C-alpha cells in the first residue's frame, strides 16, 4: 500500500517572523501544496494589507493561523519536532535532508502530529529553541553560506512533502511519545540527578542537551518514556530510603552533655 502525507497532522511553525509579506507568502505556499496548519510564535502584524495581498486565495490559512507566545506552547500536542537550521554540526542531533525527512514523516503523519519549525529571517532559531526539537533538517545548497527566504523554505518543504510517497516494508507499529512526555523525562532526569549530588562538568543545560541528543536518536515510544520514569523513580526510592535511615540514625544517637 502506498502512503501519502497526512496534511492535517503537519504543523508549519514560524518563530517570530518579522515581515508580514513572508507570512502571507508562506500561507499561500501551504495552501498550494494542500496544507493548512500555520502556527506563529510572537509574529509581526501578519494580517495587514501586505500579508493579505501575498496570501492571494489563501486567506483562510493566513487568518486561521494559531498564534502562540512561545515555541514550547506551539509544540504542545506534537509527537515529533524538527528544526530547520544550517547549524548541523553544532548540535549533532539526528539530521535529515528534505527527501530523508519526507520518508520519515509520511508514515508517521498517518497517526501522529509533527511540527516543522522555521526560525527568524535574520537570526534563525536560538540554541534553546533547537534543543526543544528532536531532529534537524537543512536544505542542501551549493554556496557556502546559503540563505533562503523564509517563505521559499516553507514552499520547498511543503512541495517535498506533498510529492512524497512511502511504501511500507514491515508491520512494525511505532507508538511515539508526545513532545510533552519526552520533555517530562528530561525534567525528571534533572531532578533525580540533582538529588544525588551529581554536578556536570560544564552546566545543566549542556548536560540535558547531550541527553536530549541521545534520547532523540532512539525515537522514544510511550513505553520508553514509562521505562525512563521507572528508572528515575527507583533512584528516588533509594534516595528516600537512605535519607530516612540517616535521619533515624541521627535521632537515635545518644546525646552528649550540653546538647
pLDDT, mean over the chain: 89
Indicate if the pLDDT at residue 255 is higher than 70: no
Q: Which residue has the higher pLDDT, 255 or 87?
A: 87
Fold of the domain spanning 3-166: Alpha/beta knot (3.40.1280)
- pLDDT of 59 reads 95
Q: Which residue has the higher pLDDT, 161 or 174?
A: 161
Domain boundaries of the chain, sorted by first residue: 3-166, 179-252
- pLDDT of 206 reads 86
Question: What are the tens digits of pLDDT across the range 52-69?
Answer: 999 999 999 999 999 999
Three-state SS annotation for the chain? CCEECCHHHEEEEEECCCCHHHHHHHHHHHHHCCCCCEEEECCCCCCCHHHHHHCCCCHHHHHCCEEECCHHHHCCCCCEEEEECCCHHHHCCCEECHHHHHHHHHHHCCCCCEEEEECECCCECCHHHHCCCCEEECCCCCCCCCCCCHHHHHHHHHHHHHCCEECCCCCCCCCECCHHHHHHHHHHHHHHHHHHCCCCCCCHHHHHHHHHHHHHHCCCEHHHHHHHHHHHHHHHHHHHHHHHHHHHHHHHCCCCCCC
pTM for the full predicted model: 0.77
Question: What are the tens digits of pLDDT across the range 126-150?
Answer: 989 998 999 999 998 876 666 689 9
- pLDDT of 244 reads 84
Indicate if the pLDDT at residue 248 is higher than 70: yes
What is the CATH code for 179-252?
A: 1.10.8.590
Question: What are the tens digits of pLDDT across the range 2-23?
Answer: 889 999 999 999 999 999 999 9
Amino acid at each position: 500500500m502506498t502512503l501519502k502525507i497526512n496534511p492535517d497532522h503537519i504543523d508549519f511553525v514560524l518563530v517570530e517572523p518579522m515581515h508580514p509579506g513572508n507570512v502571507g507568502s508562506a500561507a499561500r505556499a501551504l495552501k498550494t501544496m494542500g496544507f493548512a496548519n500555520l502556527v506563529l510564535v510572537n509574529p509581526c502584524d501578519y494580517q495587514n494589507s501586505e500579508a493579505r495581498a501575498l496570501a492571494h486565495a489563501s486567506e483562510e490559512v493566513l487568518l486561521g493561523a494559531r498564534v502562540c507566545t512561545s515555541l514550547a506552547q506551539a509544540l504542545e500536542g506534537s509527537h515529533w519536532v524538527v528544526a530547520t537550521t544550517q547549524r548541523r554540526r553544532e548540535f549533532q542531533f539526528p539530521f535529515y535532508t528534505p527527501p530523508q525527512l519526507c520518508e520519515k514523516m509520511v508514515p508517521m503523519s498517518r497517526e501522529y502530529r509533527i511540527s516543522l519549525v522555521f526560525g527568524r529571517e535574520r537570526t534563525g532559531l536560538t540554541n534553546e529553541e533547537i534543543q526543544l526539537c528532536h531532529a534537524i533538517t537543512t536544505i542542501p545548497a551549493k554556496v557556502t553560506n546559503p540563505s533562503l527566504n523564509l517563505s521559499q523554505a516553507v514552499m520547498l518543504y511543503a512541495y517535498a512533502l506533498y510529492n512524497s510517497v512511502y511504501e511500507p516494508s514491515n508491520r512494525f507499529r511505532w507508538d511515539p511519545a508526545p513532545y510533552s512526555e519526552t520533555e517530562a523525562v528530561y525534567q525528571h532526569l534533572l531532578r533525580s540527578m540533582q538529588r544525588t549530588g551529581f554536578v556536570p562538568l560544564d552546566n545543566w543545560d549542556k548536560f540535558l542537551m547531550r541527553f536530549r541528543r541521545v534520547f532523540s536518536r532512539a525515537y522514544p515510544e510511550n513505553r520508553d518514556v514509562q521505562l525512563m520514569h521507572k528508572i528515575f523513580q527507583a533512584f528516588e526510592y533509594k534516595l528516600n530510603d537512605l535519607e530516612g535511615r540517616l535521619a533515624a540514625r541521627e535521632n537515635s544517637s545518644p546525646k552528649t552533655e550540653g546538647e
